[in-house]
């Protein structure tokens, strides 16, 4: 249909300007190629193109200025969804204005504060489209005394706990299918009550590293560490971790074997935090561990202070339909500040820390750290020219946020490798020997269908052709007819340009530069 429309637009103008004889020739070729009835073809070619009608509508509430500011805020929030961005917009505008990164007119600021999550998604739909193009089960040993001594806790046994109860898990950066060797692991801890997430890098899976990281995290948390919920990995189910939790009063629980939903909170952060930051590259060695640790050191502040997250409020089942309702999106910091179990002195310290943080500077440092992780995972070694890349000026980084979506993916850890174009055949062409005959049939019978051609081929050589090749023949015939349509348009337009050039030559006055007179015979 698109080819016919393009052909009609190209031929129609030439047809309306031609004389009677030229019209007859153009009409014959047009009818032969399109299969239209002759009278219908005359009506189509004589019809003048109509300009598109402009539909009157209400005045735009969110103009280009509001959309440009919204894009900048969306990029500064690390491209989160509309519902989470709506909850973050007042905080983000206040922080960026306080640090001198953003100056918005009063009208634009009011519109951004009034905008809904659905309108955010609608305004960013085109931006998102351009910005964005099975795990092996680990074998477990026979249950031992430690595993039997640790009680099981499922996903429905939490009952709204106090801040300090963490789910913990590992994420292995092996680049897909695991091969022999030790790879860098991310040790992820997620608080059930607030969503506070801590990620730490370790060169390989080990119970000693687990104890070291738990001790360092417990000192940095704004609330006491009350409990750990882990899976049945031997790095957790060992005597050292068991004795440490018993001595420090930490409640240790575990999930059921091969039931990942028992640790739904930390499993969700494995994707939305770890994989979103690090990607799926392969990391190995102590230097790669240090590079990943530098990324987590910056990202923990950005995620816990400036990234709102949902929290499940209720879940109701009606037969096969499950209805989930969520609380309003809040950052982990906001949930900590709303908790009655956190001392007021800790809350004052967190508020002071929050006001000193610049979300744009954190995002820029995250991108630089992601670039180093991407270089490490792509080559396995650090870049030779410099151990630390030059920092992008904050003003330049702010200016790039408004147009960053045009380049697509901005996270260096998620850039895809360039693929070699597939320009070779993987199967034998079934119509290689009979295509000249098929072309002859198409020339003599322009209106014949691909199914009729396939029936003729099957009758000629039933051993060579089957019904499975009909779709292939249809694509070949469609491509041939499209090429013929383009050739016809090129020939008609070329003949028209030549005729106009000849008429212009006839209208030129006789040249008298050399004293001779040139006449044109009519």
Q: DSSP H helical segments within 173-326, as ranges?
A: 207-220, 239-248, 264-269, 276-278, 286-306
Q: Is residue 314 part of a domain?
A: yes
In this structure, are residues 300 and 198 in contact, taking their beta carbons and an 8 Å threshold? yes
Which residue range(s) make up the domain with 18?
A: 1-49
Domain CATH number, residue 266: 3.30.420.10
Q: Examine the pLDDT at 516 and tell me if it is beyond 80.
A: no
pLDDT band at 19 (very low <50, low <70, confident <90, very high): confident
> pLDDT digit string (tens) for 174-220?
887 776 678 999 999 999 999 999 999 999 888 889 999 999 999 99
pLDDT at 252: 94
Co-location of 104 and 212 in the same domain: no
Domain count, the chain: 4
| Structural domain contains residue 20 | yes
Band (pLDDT 50/70/90 cuts) for residue 515 is very low
Does residue 248 share a domain with residue 309?
yes
Q: What is the pLDDT of residue 379?
A: 63
Q: How many CB atoms lie within 10 A of CB 184?
A: 30
248, 299: one domain: yes
- Residue 474 reports pLDDT greater than 80: yes
Which of 342, 371, 399 lies at the terminal end of a domain, its last residue?
342
> Tokens at residue 13, please?
């103008």
* Domain identity same for 156 and 41: no
d(CA 96, CA 438): 67
Q: Output the pLDDT for position 122.
A: 92
Is there a domain that residue 280 lies in?
yes
| Confidence (pLDDT) at 520 | 38
pLDDT at 172 over 70: yes
pLDDT level of residue 514 (50, 70, 90 thresholds) = very low
Mean pLDDT of 278-287: 91
pLDDT band at 47 (very low <50, low <70, confident <90, very high): confident
Residue 355 lies in a domain: no
pLDDT one-digit tens code per residue, 304-318: 999 999 988 888 989
> Which residues, other chains included, contact 179 with Cβ-Cβ below 8 Å and sequence gap of 6+?
none
Query: Is there a single domain that holds both residue 68 and residue 165?
Result: no
Kindly state the percentage of the chain with pLDDT values over 90.
Answer: 46
pLDDT over 90 (residue 356): yes
User: Which of 73, 107, 131 is a domain's end point?
Assistant: 131
Residues 324 and 236 in one domain: yes
Q: Is the pLDDT of residue 510 over 80?
A: no
- Whether the pLDDT of residue 20 is over 60: the answer is yes
Q: What SS3 state is found at 152? A: strand
Lowest mean pLDDT among 152-161, 188-197, 334-343: 152-161
Dist. CA 73–CA 127, nearest whole Å: 13
- pLDDT band of residue 115 (cuts 50, 70, 90) is very high
Rounded Cα–Cα distance for residues 166 and 189 (Å): 6
Confidence check: pLDDT of 157 > 60: yes
Residue 79 lies in a domain: yes
Sequence-distant (≥ 6) Cβ neighbours of residue 129 within 8 angstroms: none
Same domain flag for 232 and 338: yes
- 3-class DSSP string for 304-337: HHHCCECCEEEEEEECCEEEEEECCCECHHHHHH
Q: How far apart are CA 156 and CA 116, in angstroms?
A: 32
Please tell me what DSSP assigns to residue 282.
B
Cβ pair 270, 169 in contact under 8 A: yes
- The reported pLDDT for the residue numbered 97 is 92
Mean residue pLDDT of the chain comes to 85
Cα separation of the two ends of the chain: 44
Q: What SS3 class is residue 262? A: helix
Asked if residue 137 is part of any domain, the answer here is no
Model confidence pLDDT, tens digit, residues 363-391? 999 999 999 999 988 665 555 444 444 57
Task: State residue 145's pLDDT score.
Answer: 80
β-pairing verdict for 165-172 and 227-230: parallel
- 150 & 125 share domain: no
Whether residue 78 lies inside any domain: the answer is yes
Averaged pLDDT, 503-511: 52
Region 50-57: what's the mean pLDDT?
A: 65
Per-residue pLDDT of 225-270, as tens digits, reads: 999 999 988 889 888 899 999 999 999 999 998 888 899 999 999 9
Residue 508 pLDDT: 52
CA 509 – CA 519 distance, rounded (Å):
9
Each residue of 395-433: pLDDT tens digit? 889 888 888 888 888 888 888 776 777 777 788 888 888
Instruction: Count CB atoms within 10 A of the CB of residue 150.
Output: 19
Examine residue 383 and state whether it is found in any structural domain, yes or no: no
Residues 42 and 68 in one domain: no
pTM of the model: 0.66
In this structure, the answer to whether residues 69 and 38 fall within a common structural domain is no
Q: 98 and 197: one domain?
A: no
**Pairwise CA distance, residues 174 & 374, whole Å:** 14
Q: Which of 80, 99, 131 is the last residue of a domain?
A: 131
Q: What is the three-class DSSP state of 511?
A: coil
Q: Over 50: is that where the pLDDT of 137 sits?
A: no
Q: Are residues 156 and 246 in the same domain?
A: yes
């Amino acid at each position: 249909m698109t080819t016919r429309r393009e052909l009609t637009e190209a031929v129609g103008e030439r047809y309306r300007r031609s004389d009677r004889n030229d019209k007859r020739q153009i009409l014959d070729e047009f009818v032969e190629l399109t299969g239209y009835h002759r009278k219908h073809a005359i009506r189509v070619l004589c019809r003048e193109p109509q300009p598109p009608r402009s539909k009157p509508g209400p005045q735009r509430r969110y103009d280009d200025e509001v959309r440009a500011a919204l894009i900048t805020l969306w990029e500064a929030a690390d491209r989160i969804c509309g519902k989470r961005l709506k909850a973050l917009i007042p905080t983000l505008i206040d922080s960026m204005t306080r640090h001198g990164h953003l100056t918005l007119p009063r009208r634009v600021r009011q519109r951004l504060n009034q905008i809904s999550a659905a309108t955010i998604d609608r305004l960013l739909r085109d931006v998102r489209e351009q910005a964005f193009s099975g795990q092996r089960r680990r074998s477990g040993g026979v249950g031992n005394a430690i595993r039997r001594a640790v009680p099981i806790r499922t996903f429905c046994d939490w009952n709204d706990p106090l801040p300090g109860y963490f789910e913990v898990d590992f994420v292995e950066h092996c680049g897909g299918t695991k091969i022999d060797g030790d790879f860098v692991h991310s040790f992820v801890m997620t608080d059930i009550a607030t969503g506070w997430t801590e990620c730490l890098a370790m060169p390989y899976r080990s119970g000693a590293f687990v104890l070291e990281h738990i001790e360092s995290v417990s000192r940095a948390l704004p609330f006491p560490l009350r409990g750990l919920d882990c899976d049945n990995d031997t790095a957790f189910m060992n005597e050292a971790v068991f004795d440490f939790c018993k001595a420090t009063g930490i409640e240790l629980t575990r999930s059921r074997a091969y039931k990942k939903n028992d640790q739904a909170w930390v499993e969700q952060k494995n994707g939305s935090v770890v994989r979103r930051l690090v990607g799926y590259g392969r990391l190995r060695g102590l230097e790669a561990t240090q590079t990943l640790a530098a990324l987590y050191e910056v990202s923990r502040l950005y995620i816990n202070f400036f990234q709102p997250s949902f929290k499940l409020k209720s879940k109701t089942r009606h037969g096969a339909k499950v209805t989930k309702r969520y609380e309003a999106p809040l950052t982990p910091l906001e949930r900590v500040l709303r908790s009655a179990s956190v001392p007021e002195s800790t809350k004052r310290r967190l508020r002071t820390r929050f006001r000193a943080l610049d979300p744009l500077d954190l995002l820029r440092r995250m991108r630089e750290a992601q670039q180093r992780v991407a270089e490490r995972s792509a080559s396995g070694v650090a870049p030779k020219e410099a151990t630390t890349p030059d920092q992008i000026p904050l003003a330049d980084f702010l200016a790039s946020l408004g147009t960053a979506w045009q380049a697509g993916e901005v996270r260096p850890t998620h850039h895809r490798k360039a693929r070699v174009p597939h320009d070779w055949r993987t199967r034998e062409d079934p119509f290689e020997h009979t295509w000249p005959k098929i072309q002859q049939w198409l020339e003599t019978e322009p209106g014949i269908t691909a199914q009729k051609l396939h029936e003729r081929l099957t009758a000629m050589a039933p051993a060579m052709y089957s019904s499975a090749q009909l779709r292939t023949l249809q694509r070949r015939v469609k491509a041939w007819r499209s090429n013929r349509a383009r050739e016809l348009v090129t020939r008609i337009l070329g003949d028209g340009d030549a005729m106009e050039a000849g008429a212009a030559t006839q209208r030129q006055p006789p040249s008298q530069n050399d004293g001779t007179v040139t006449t044109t015979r009519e």
